[in-house]
Structure 1
């Protein structure tokens, strides 16, 4: 059984706030304070660095439980866990270059993921942001990042940009971290969305944000890379992000079961839990969801055990992300269909889950990217 940090009481408290944060379209400062106090932001910090030492397989399950209480909170916190996941991935493989991040997470720093760019379908393989060398081994960053979850709360932002000036014939993607108190950026108040509202994933405009030399983590050539840093980002992001949507599906199924047991049919006088069509829908949703968790457990356990699958990690984890998010949409849809018209109101938790689950289609790897990854693994690159 996975190791847990989040107590049922804490999750109950966080669930009780989720609807209000959604209505107000504000940030979950109260949830963040409670999660920090519980030690959850340090979950992946190994015991030898003073942390609780949970593995990725543990945190995947914890993220799903948190998402079942408050999806937007889970999604934003997820981007912090992605970075601690990368650092843990390296640490477990003998690379201590990001142990500083694990130590800072242990001490209360909050990390965010500033990688997404409008129109950049290369994702990790290229960037529209400029990385300009400062002459001392560091870089300033100039560009526009979208969907920066945790915008009001982060203290450290992971960013990437393209340096094509140092050696124009050999450009590199620069991966680095900038501090919030260093300036050189503007966070726009532009987050007014259909769902995942409390995540406050605002646009971040970088205009000289500086990463010193000791916070420049990698410089890799554009295109596919098997650098452990890139593999750590890809695998951590795919599994942890997908787990949020698996948690939404788990909660939706739970709510549907509760609802059909209390709604009564005027036609039969029996609860809808006795209606064969409703039973078929709920069973169909459960059958789909039951196939997701073994995939998470197998992949996350392999990462925790230090397995080296190389390029196969891209296909495996991208596939899990797509299957988990698409299955979650199906499960929530079936739960809505079983639960009646009340779910169409904003006050309905299922209605909110329906809005939140749609965000899953926008995270990398999207459906097209995943199909391209799998096709390349089977057929080789396009000529």
Structure 2
């Protein structure tokens, strides 16, 4: 079956043209988001039965690579909405309906943000510094601070979690969604970063923010957990994140090829630098590394779509594809800059922006240390 695409080449070029201004002005990608919504992209992973586009994770991963090649920060920002719809699809495909309301609301135009990260929380999904206080009606009030909250200016629903230490069955990690109109939080104007500036992933301060009972969708024990929610978050987050950085690598390689064809050598009577054996080797080396990424993402995304059972090896596969993509992308961008000359050092150069954007990959879960721990445990078992 031919892959379905929602992003036209014309749309991607308009998005590409706005990326420098968003970066320069440290401004949210408002116009991009509006066009992506109009194209149906925010409904990409929502099944047709819910009013969505019905694309597979594999198809959306490919689209995210194309979008990231045009505008990395826009792709990373919209990634967070796509992750939540992907999680809801993944659990629905596995016969569970506790996130069907996410699919219904995404089809109706709601925008989902990702409020998981917390400063100093290296447990990530397995623990929380945020307080989740139970209410008599079954709802919860959340108090704490979430960092890297992408889509801060635009989300209408914020997925988050916190620790309940007071209920009879405590401790429990409580997963819920906030509605923006219900308030109880502040979004700080503190996003002034080296790269990925248009995401506007500002800090969110929760001040007793209320999640209604019908918005509380999971209560889990702290620590590693095989729950379908945890699998769904890991699978969609890591695959789609890997896709963004693979898209950056693709664009960097394209720019490197163009640069060596454009540049000439005075030593060789004006011959294009594309004839220089050292530069040819460096570009080939970058291409050899990049070429391994799309097939890996394809294969893992297809396994998620087709409900493959990798058992305890799933997390090894998921963190592996993220680490390989983010680390390889950094290497490819570095090589692209090396062959492109001093002009790429200018802030106005696209490669300069890609260099700053690609560095963000090292900060996303799972980081290098955590990923190696996951793989070691999968192969060797836990440390006694």
**What TM-score bracket applies, with the shorter chain setting the length?**
over 0.9
Contact 1:226–1:310 (CA under 8 A) maintained in structure 2: no
Report how far residue 67 of structure 1 moved. Answer: 0.6
Query: How far does the alpha carbon of each residue in 1:178-210 deviate from its partner, in whole angstroms, 9 at most, with x for none?
Result: 011110000000000000000000000001111
Q: For each residue in 1:148-180, what CA deviation from the matched residue of structure 2 results, as whole angstroms up to 9, or x when unmatched?
A: 01100100000010001113x740111110011
Structure 2 match to 1:241: 241
TM-score when scaled to structure 1?
0.98
The 3-state SS of whatever aligns with 1:306 is coil
The yes-or-no answer on 1:125 pairing with 2:138 is no
Aligned twin of 1:100: 101
Displacement after TM superposition at 1:52 (Å): 1.2
What residue in structure 2 maps to residue 344 of structure 1? 345
Matched residue, 1:227: 227
Counterpart secondary structure, 1:203:
strand
CA RMSD, Structure 1 to Structure 2 (Å): 0.9
Residue 207 of structure 2 corresponds to residue 207 of structure 1: yes
Instruction: Work out the CA distance in 1 between the residues paired with 2:371 and 2:309.
Output: 20
Equivalent residue, structure 2, for 1:42:
43
Query: Which whole-Å CA distance do the structure 1 matches of 2:55 and 2:157 have between them?
Result: 22
2:166 is the counterpart of 1:165:
yes
SS at match of 2:6: coil
CA displacement at 1:100 relative to structure 2? 1.1
CA distance in 2, matches of 1:310, 1:229: 15
SS at match of 1:311: helix
Q: Structure 2 unaligned segments of length 5 or more: list them.
A: none
Report the Cα offset of residue 271 of structure 1. Answer: 0.5
Contact 2:164 2:170 in 1 (8 A): no
Q: How many residues align?
A: 382
SS at match of 2:217: strand
Aligned counterpart, 2:296? 295
In 2: Cα distance, 1:173 partner to 1:308 partner: 26
- 8 Å Cα contact 2:152-2:200 kept in structure 1: yes
- Aligned mates of 1:277, 1:3 — CA distance in 2: 39
Counterpart mapping for 1:1-383 below 5 A: 1-167=2-168, 170-268=170-268, 269-383=270-384
Rounded to whole Å, the distance in 2 between the matches of 1:2 and 1:339 is: 33
Contact 2:245/2:329, CA 8 A, preserved across alignment = yes
**C-alpha contact (below 8 Å) 2:147/2:204 kept by paired residues:** yes
Distance 1:242 1:209 in 2: 32
Aligned equivalents of 1:140, 1:62: Cα separation in 2: 37
Q: What is the distance in 1 between the residues matched to 2:283 and 2:3?
A: 26
- What is the rounded CA distance, in whole Å, between the counterparts of 2:204 and 2:320 in structure 1? 29
> Displacement, 1:98?
1.1
